[in-house]
Amino acid sequence: MLEYERRERDHFVNGVVKEVESMAEGDIVRGQPRFEAHTRLIVGDHTRVTAQRVVIAVGGRHRSSRMSFASSATN
């Protein structure tokens, strides 16, 4: 099941990346956002964006290569 989930995630992420890359630069707002209301964001101290739906990209990166990670988390 894990391999299936990876393929589905990768397919979804690749679609989102292509969609964002095809957007006009003026449609992308960069900065630190916070919700001012249910359908309104304020980015930085000056830019307000009102929309029914908002995508906030947090800078994560899609990795296509398999990597091993050692867990260092403690409870």
Q: Which two tokens stand for residue 19?
A: 């969609």
Would the pLDDT of 74 be above 70?
A: no
Report pLDDT for 57.
67
Question: Would you mind telling me the total number of residues written for the chain in this entry?
Answer: 75
What pTM was estimated for this model as a whole?
0.43
16-69 pLDDT, tens digit per residue, is 888 888 888 777 888 888 888 888 989 888 889 898 887 766 666 655 545 444
Q: Where are the domains of the chain?
A: 2-50
pLDDT for 69? 45
Classify residue 46 by its DSSP letter. Answer: T
